[in-house]
Protein backbone atom coordinates (compact mmCIF):
# COMPACT_ATOMS: atom_id res chain seq x y z
CA UNK A 1 0.00 0.00 0.00
CA UNK A 2 1.25 3.46 -0.92
CA UNK A 3 0.79 5.45 2.28
CA UNK A 4 2.07 8.72 0.90
CA UNK A 5 -0.50 9.10 -1.88
CA UNK A 6 -3.64 11.25 -1.97
CA UNK A 7 -5.19 12.13 1.34
CA UNK A 8 -3.68 9.19 3.20
CA UNK A 9 -1.01 11.20 5.08
CA UNK A 10 -3.67 13.71 6.20
CA UNK A 11 -6.10 10.97 7.26
CA UNK A 12 -3.43 9.13 9.21
CA UNK A 13 -2.20 12.38 10.77
CA UNK A 14 -5.72 13.26 11.96
CA UNK A 15 -6.13 9.82 13.52
CA UNK A 16 -2.70 10.09 15.14
CA UNK A 17 -3.31 13.54 16.61
CA UNK A 18 -6.81 12.67 17.82
CA UNK A 19 -5.27 9.72 19.68
CA UNK A 20 -7.08 7.03 17.67
CA UNK A 21 -3.89 5.18 16.77
CA UNK A 22 -2.51 2.76 19.29
CA UNK A 23 0.37 0.35 19.66
CA UNK A 24 2.02 -0.76 16.42
CA UNK A 25 0.06 1.58 14.14
CA UNK A 26 0.99 4.59 16.31
CA UNK A 27 4.65 3.59 16.26
CA UNK A 28 4.49 3.02 12.50
CA UNK A 29 3.07 6.50 11.90
CA UNK A 30 5.75 7.99 14.16
CA UNK A 31 8.41 6.27 12.05
CA UNK A 32 6.78 7.42 8.78
CA UNK A 33 6.67 11.05 9.89
CA UNK A 34 10.30 10.90 11.00
CA UNK A 35 11.37 9.53 7.62
CA UNK A 36 9.02 11.30 5.19
CA UNK A 37 8.41 15.01 4.97
CA UNK A 38 4.85 14.56 3.65
CA UNK A 39 3.81 12.75 6.84
CA UNK A 40 5.68 15.17 9.07
CA UNK A 41 3.94 18.15 7.42
CA UNK A 42 0.58 16.39 7.70
CA UNK A 43 1.17 15.74 11.42
CA UNK A 44 2.21 19.36 12.04
CA UNK A 45 -0.88 20.65 10.25
CA UNK A 46 -3.16 18.27 12.13
CA UNK A 47 -1.62 19.26 15.48
CA UNK A 48 -2.00 22.93 14.63
CA UNK A 49 -5.65 22.38 13.68
CA UNK A 50 -6.86 20.07 16.45
CA UNK A 51 -4.85 21.30 19.40
CA UNK A 52 -6.40 24.75 19.21
CA UNK A 53 -9.37 22.97 20.83
CA UNK A 54 -7.35 22.55 24.02
CA UNK A 55 -7.81 26.25 24.81
CA UNK A 56 -11.55 25.66 25.31
CA UNK A 57 -10.97 23.70 28.53
CA UNK A 58 -11.37 25.54 31.83
CA UNK A 59 -7.89 26.12 33.37
CA UNK A 60 -6.79 23.90 36.29
CA UNK A 61 -3.92 25.05 38.47
CA UNK A 62 -1.36 22.31 39.15
CA UNK A 63 0.14 21.92 42.64
CA UNK A 64 3.28 23.88 43.52
CA UNK A 65 5.22 20.60 43.83
CA UNK A 66 4.85 20.00 40.08
CA UNK A 67 7.07 22.97 39.25
CA UNK A 68 9.54 22.00 41.99
CA UNK A 69 9.90 18.55 40.41
CA UNK A 70 10.34 20.02 36.92
CA UNK A 71 12.97 22.42 38.18
CA UNK A 72 14.91 19.64 39.89
CA UNK A 73 14.94 17.65 36.65
CA UNK A 74 16.09 20.43 34.36
CA UNK A 75 18.48 21.83 36.92
CA UNK A 76 19.55 18.98 39.23
CA UNK A 77 22.01 21.09 41.24
CA UNK A 78 20.48 23.52 43.74
CA UNK A 79 20.21 27.09 42.50
CA UNK A 80 22.75 29.00 44.61
CA UNK A 81 25.73 26.66 44.43
CA UNK A 82 24.99 26.12 40.72
CA UNK A 83 25.10 29.81 39.95
CA UNK A 84 28.29 30.21 41.91
CA UNK A 85 29.96 27.28 40.23
CA UNK A 86 28.65 28.30 36.80
CA UNK A 87 29.86 31.85 37.30
CA UNK A 88 33.26 30.57 38.32
CA UNK A 89 33.27 28.17 35.40
CA UNK A 90 32.20 30.89 32.99
CA UNK A 91 34.92 33.15 34.28
CA UNK A 92 37.51 30.40 33.95
CA UNK A 93 36.32 29.39 30.47
CA UNK A 94 36.02 33.00 29.39
CA UNK A 95 39.59 33.67 30.47
CA UNK A 96 40.78 30.47 28.82
CA UNK A 97 39.16 31.47 25.52
CA UNK A 98 40.47 34.97 25.84
CA UNK A 99 44.01 33.77 26.58
CA UNK A 100 43.86 31.39 23.59
CA UNK A 101 42.69 34.18 21.32
CA UNK A 102 45.41 36.52 22.48
CA UNK A 103 48.01 33.81 21.99
CA UNK A 104 46.67 33.12 18.50
CA UNK A 105 46.80 36.82 17.67
CA UNK A 106 50.42 37.09 18.86
CA UNK A 107 51.58 33.90 17.14
CA UNK A 108 49.70 34.07 13.88
CA UNK A 109 49.19 37.73 13.08
CA UNK A 110 52.32 39.82 13.34
CA UNK A 111 50.49 42.72 11.68
CA UNK A 112 48.36 42.99 14.83
CA UNK A 113 51.28 44.81 16.49
CA UNK A 114 50.59 47.72 14.15
CA UNK A 115 46.93 48.14 15.15
CA UNK A 116 45.97 50.50 17.97
CA UNK A 117 45.93 48.94 21.42
CA UNK A 118 42.38 48.27 22.61
CA UNK A 119 41.02 49.94 25.70
CA UNK A 120 39.54 46.64 26.81
CA UNK A 121 38.22 43.40 25.48
CA UNK A 122 35.17 41.38 26.48
CA UNK A 123 34.61 37.70 25.88
CA UNK A 124 30.85 37.20 25.88
CA UNK A 125 29.80 33.68 26.82
CA UNK A 126 26.51 31.88 27.41
CA UNK A 127 25.53 31.94 31.09
CA UNK A 128 24.74 28.23 31.29
CA UNK A 129 27.31 26.36 29.25
CA UNK A 130 29.97 29.06 28.74
CA UNK A 131 29.71 28.75 24.96
CA UNK A 132 31.87 31.53 23.55
CA UNK A 133 29.59 33.93 21.67
CA UNK A 134 31.52 37.06 20.74
CA UNK A 135 34.79 38.88 21.30
CA UNK A 136 34.20 42.60 21.80
CA UNK A 137 37.15 44.97 21.66
CA UNK A 138 37.37 48.75 22.02
CA UNK A 139 40.13 51.19 21.38
CA UNK A 140 41.12 53.66 24.07
CA UNK A 141 39.02 56.47 22.61
CA UNK A 142 35.87 54.26 22.72
CA UNK A 143 35.04 55.49 19.21
CA UNK A 144 34.55 52.11 17.61
CA UNK A 145 33.21 48.83 19.00
CA UNK A 146 34.56 45.76 17.21
CA UNK A 147 32.45 42.65 17.63
CA UNK A 148 33.68 39.32 16.33
CA UNK A 149 31.51 36.21 16.36
CA UNK A 150 33.24 33.23 17.95
CA UNK A 151 30.70 30.53 17.15
CA UNK A 152 27.86 29.99 14.68
CA UNK A 153 24.92 30.48 17.03
CA UNK A 154 21.44 29.57 15.82
CA UNK A 155 18.62 32.08 15.97
CA UNK A 156 14.89 31.59 15.34
CA UNK A 157 13.51 33.27 12.20
CA UNK A 158 12.94 37.01 12.42
CA UNK A 159 15.13 37.42 15.49
CA UNK A 160 18.46 39.13 15.96
CA UNK A 161 21.09 39.39 18.67
CA UNK A 162 21.47 42.79 20.33
CA UNK A 163 24.47 43.87 22.38
CA UNK A 164 23.92 45.91 25.56
CA UNK A 165 26.26 47.64 27.96
CA UNK A 166 25.77 48.45 31.61
CA UNK A 167 27.73 51.43 32.89
CA UNK A 168 28.76 51.70 36.54
CA UNK A 169 26.83 54.93 37.06
CA UNK A 170 23.63 54.06 35.21
CA UNK A 171 20.77 51.83 36.29
CA UNK A 172 19.52 51.04 32.82
CA UNK A 173 21.46 49.28 30.15
CA UNK A 174 22.29 50.98 26.86
CA UNK A 175 22.11 49.45 23.42
CA UNK A 176 25.45 49.08 21.68
CA UNK A 177 23.88 47.71 18.51
CA UNK A 178 22.82 44.64 16.58
CA UNK A 179 25.48 41.99 16.17
CA UNK A 180 25.97 39.13 13.78
CA UNK A 181 26.22 35.37 14.34
CA UNK A 182 29.16 35.23 11.94
CA UNK A 183 32.09 37.40 10.98
CA UNK A 184 32.90 40.85 12.33
CA UNK A 185 30.80 43.94 12.96
CA UNK A 186 32.10 47.45 13.61
CA UNK A 187 29.84 49.84 15.50
CA UNK A 188 30.57 53.57 15.65
CA UNK A 189 29.77 54.97 19.10
CA UNK A 190 28.02 58.33 19.54
CA UNK A 191 28.77 60.59 22.52
CA UNK A 192 26.21 58.96 24.83
CA UNK A 193 27.35 55.45 23.99
CA UNK A 194 31.00 56.42 24.40
CA UNK A 195 30.21 57.67 27.91
CA UNK A 196 28.57 54.35 28.79
CA UNK A 197 31.37 52.33 27.20
CA UNK A 198 34.04 54.18 29.16
CA UNK A 199 32.37 53.17 32.43
CA UNK A 200 31.25 49.69 31.32
CA UNK A 201 31.00 47.02 34.00
CA UNK A 202 29.08 44.38 32.07
CA UNK A 203 28.04 43.53 28.54
CA UNK A 204 25.06 41.36 27.65
CA UNK A 205 23.35 40.01 24.55
CA UNK A 206 19.61 39.44 24.19
CA UNK A 207 17.43 38.04 21.42
CA UNK A 208 15.25 40.73 19.86
CA UNK A 209 12.82 41.19 16.96
CA UNK A 210 14.22 42.23 13.57
CA UNK A 211 15.53 45.78 13.78
CA UNK A 212 16.28 45.48 17.48
CA UNK A 213 14.37 46.06 20.70
CA UNK A 214 11.46 48.45 20.11
CA UNK A 215 11.60 49.66 23.74
CA UNK A 216 15.25 50.66 24.03
CA UNK A 217 15.68 48.00 26.69
CA UNK A 218 16.03 44.21 26.31
CA UNK A 219 12.67 42.52 25.70
CA UNK A 220 14.07 39.07 26.47
CA UNK A 221 16.44 38.14 29.21
CA UNK A 222 20.08 38.49 28.10
CA UNK A 223 21.68 35.07 28.44
CA UNK A 224 25.14 35.98 27.21
CA UNK A 225 27.34 38.11 29.39
CA UNK A 226 30.93 39.24 29.67
CA UNK A 227 33.03 41.60 31.75
CA UNK A 228 35.47 44.14 30.29
CA UNK A 229 39.11 43.14 30.73
CA UNK A 230 41.61 45.99 30.42
CA UNK A 231 44.68 45.44 28.30
Partner 1 sequence: MTLLNLSLLATEFTQVTDELNLEDLLYASALGNQAAFSKLYENTSPQLMAVALSILRNRSLAEEALQEAFVHIWYATKDYRRELGKPITWLSTIVRNCSIDLYRKQSRHHESSGDTEALLKIPDLKTVSTRDKELQELIDCLEPLPEEQRNSILMTYYHGHSHGDISNLLSQPLGTIKSWIRRGISKLRECLE
Choose between 104 and 231: whose C-beta lies nearer to partner 1: 231
Q: How far is the CB of 220 from partner 1 (least distance, A)?
A: 4
Give how far Cα 162 sits from Cα of 33, 130, 174, 209, Å.
Answer: 37, 18, 11, 9
| Residues linked to residue 175 through DSSP beta bridges, in sequence order | 164
Choose between 1 and 56: whose C-beta lies nearer to partner 1: 56
Choose between 48 and 186: whose C-beta lies nearer to partner 1: 48
Residues 162 and 190: beta-carbon distance below 8 Å: no
Q: How far is the CB of 129 from partner 1 (least distance, A)?
A: 7
Q: How far is the CB of 83 from partner 1 (least distance, A)?
A: 4
Choose between 109 and 168: whose C-beta lies nearer to partner 1: 168
Choose between 1 and 108: whose C-beta lies nearer to partner 1: 1
Q: How far is the CB of 101 from partner 1 (least distance, A)?
A: 19
Q: How far is the CB of 56 from partner 1 (least distance, A)?
A: 4
Residues 4 and 35: beta-carbon distance below 8 Å: no
Q: CA torsion, points 26, 32, 34, 40, in degrees to nearest 10?
A: -90
Q: What is the DSSP letter of 211?
A: T
Using a 10 angstrom Cβ sphere, with 0-12 exposed, 13-18 middle and 19 or more buried, the burial of residue 101 is middle
Amino acid sequence: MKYDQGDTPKKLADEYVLGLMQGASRRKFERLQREHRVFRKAREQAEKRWNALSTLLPPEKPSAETWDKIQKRINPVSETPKNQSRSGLNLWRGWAIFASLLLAVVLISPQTYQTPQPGYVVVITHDDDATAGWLVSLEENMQQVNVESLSALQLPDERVFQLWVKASDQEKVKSVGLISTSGKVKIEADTNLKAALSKAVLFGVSVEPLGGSPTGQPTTIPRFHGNPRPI
